[in-house]
Amino acid sequence: MENIEGKEPMSSHNSYVFEKKNVSIETGDSLPLNYEDNKIVILPRDPRVVYTYWEINEQKKTQVREKFGRDIFKERPFTLRVYDVTNIDFNGLNAHYFFDIDLPSGANNWYINLNKEGTSCCVDIGLRVSEREFLILARSNIITLPEGKISDITDEEWMLVKGDFDKLMKLVGVENIGKSSITVKRKLFDEMKEIISVSSPGMSSLGIWNKPQTSGFWFIANAELTICGATQSDAILSVQGKEVNLKPDGTFSLRMALPDGCQEIPL
């Protein structure tokens, strides 16, 4: 370990002079260059790009040299074969399409741009030993990249429609704001469905908008607010004058509908 002794500043500037005494550095064991695995792994980086890394062990290389010659790895570059396997049960032959990437000598990882969001893909690493034969050395896992857009999944259980917020709070009790028990959530959901079925002809079911039966122009817009934060665990927090329960670590979160009109939400 390194022993460094600090001395007082020599000027008015915020700087120090250090003396090193009995310097010794313990580096520990270094990481191995390889693990004698024969594998390739792919990971998603973003909706269009995957990252892959691999290792081909000496046992596999020896088998290849015995069959194709001792200089095969000098004559043929490692090649990544990238398959589009979106929505299919991939068996190695039924991909929608594939493309190859010839690798430079010594490479053991690569970024692959698929130029398409939401794609499922699989990658082989191997050698093109002839014009028609591709020798697979290892096959990766299959991953599906995310769609490059906001999720279509909405939290219907918490959606409120115009004018229902006050009714709902009276039905379930405003003292329940901030709690996250299953009982409270179920009660909120049940009461919300009842309100919507009675007072909201513009919706046929929870979270699904239908055009009102009118010949004129129409427009619907609602919003909800998520409030989260933290304070001292023994503090007392109120939102719009109603106490909110804090978690043991002092954090809190709650969601509130914002009905039409001007809203004041003091915390």
Question: Domain coordinates of the chain in residue numbers?
Answer: 39-144, 156-258
pLDDT at 108: 92
**pLDDT per residue as tens, the chain (267 positions):** 444 444 454 444 555 555 555 666 666 677 777 778 899 999 999 999 999 999 999 999 999 999 999 999 999 999 999 999 999 999 999 999 999 999 998 899 999 999 888 899 999 999 999 888 999 999 999 999 988 776 666 555 555 554 566 666 666 565 555 555 566 666 666 655 555 444 333 333 334 455 566 677 877 777 778 888 888 889 999 988 888 888 888 888 887 777 667 778 889
Structure tokens, 207 = 């979270």
Longest dimension (CA), the chain: 89
Question: Reduced to 3 DSSP states, what percent helix, strand and coil does the chain have, rounded to the nearest 5?
Answer: 20, 30, 50
Using alpha carbons, select from 160, 155, 188, 186 the residue that is nearest to residue 174. Answer: 188
Number of Cβ within 10 Å of residue 45's Cβ equals 14
Per-residue model confidence (pLDDT) at position 36 = 82
pTM: 0.49
CATH 3.65.10.10 given to domain 39-144: no
Structure tokens at 137: 């050395």
And the tokens for 62? 């020896």
Separation CA 242–CA 124 (nearest Å): 59
